[in-house]
Amino acid sequence: MNRVLRAGRMHLVHPLVILGIPWLVVGISFAINVAVWHLTPAGEDDGGFSGGILALYITVLVVYVQAVTQLLPFSMGISLSRRTFYLGTALVAAAQALLYGLSIAVLVAIENATDGWGAGLSFWAPGVFEVDDVFLQILASGAPMLAFMSVGIGIGIVHQRWGQTGTWGLMIGTLVFFGGLAILISLLEAWRTVGDWFADQSTLALTAGLPLAIAAVVALISYPGIRRVVP
């Protein structure tokens, strides 16, 4: 356990990388959105929201891809097992997701209190992701974050284990899978059923349950992959 904590600490050697860059990116995105909302009538209709926060989630994903590709070879170089590195990384991801959820919940509260930064902007919890309870908001913002981290770790592992070829294969495979799924749903004329299914789900199931399930499934698939990495 001790070694797992130490493996986790290795991610925080330069916290600016893992914490600072995502907030820098989303900060810029936020500033642009606030400016646009103030200059244009975008926020005049009720429910005007921006997808700008996606920048934060995607940057975090990239950070975690790099966390694996950069730190895994070094961690193994100083005699940490793959499992220890994996658990340490998962621990940091879980803690960070919680922290990010908390931060976003606070920002959502400010957003709501200031009438969308004075411009009716719904930036930090757009659309379905906005829930009415602070604690649930932490979950609704944090759980998708964990899913993005898990996917990032998964991509990093594929890159470490199967190289460039593996990464491209993963991207093409994912595209083919979802494309095939879309064609299948079209052939079965089942789009309405799919839509109904989503509509039937509670907000919490969509914003927290589904992302947490994705995070867990990706994590379970990634683990056998990391066990086969040769640094």
Partner 1 sequence: MTAPRTTAVATVDDVTMRFRGHTALDAVTTAVEQDSITGLLGRNGAGKTTMMQLLTGHRVPTSGRIEVFGAQPYENDDVLRRTCFIKEGQRYPDHFRVQDALGAAAMVFPEWDDDLAASLLRDFDLPVKRPVKKLSRGMTSAVGIIIGLASRAPFTLFDEPYLGLDAVARQLFYDRLLADYAEHPRTIMLSTHLIEEIAPLLERVLLIDRGRVLLDADTESLRGSAVTVTGPVGAVQAFARQHDPLHTETLAGSSRAVVRIGGAADRRAAAEQGLTVEPTSLQQLVVAMSLQTPATRAPIHPVDLEEVSS
Q: Return the SS3 of 122.
A: strand
Q: Which is nearer to partner 1, 133 or 228 (CB)?
A: 228
The residue type found at 109 is: A
Beta strands of 75-159 (E only): which ranges?
A: none
Q: Which is nearer to partner 1, 137 or 222 (CB)?
A: 222
On the CB side of 210, CA atoms within 13 Å amount to 10
d(CA 227, CA 231): 11
Q: Rule CB under 8 A: is residue 166 a binding residue for partner 1?
A: no
Q: Rule CB under 8 A: is residue 3 a binding residue for partner 1?
A: yes
Q: Which is nearer to partner 1, 91 or 204 (CB)?
A: 91
d(CA 108, CA 100): 12
The pattern of x and - marking residues 56 through 95 that bind partner 1 according to CB under 8 A reads --------------xx-xx-xxxxxxxxx-----------
Minimum CB separation from partner 1 for residue 85, in Å?
11
State how far Cα 73 lies from the chain centre.
Answer: 24
The pattern of x and - marking residues 12 through 51 that bind partner 1 according to CB under 8 A reads -xx--x----------------------------------
Contact region for partner 1 (CB under 8 A) — 3-11, 149-157, 193-201, 204-212?
Answer: 3-11
Q: How many residues does the chain have?
A: 231
C-alpha to C-alpha distances, 152 to 54, 64, 105, nearest whole angstrom: 14, 5, 23
Interface with partner 1 by CB under 8 A: which residues?
3, 6-7, 9-10, 13-14, 17, 70-71, 73-74, 76-84, 227, 230-231
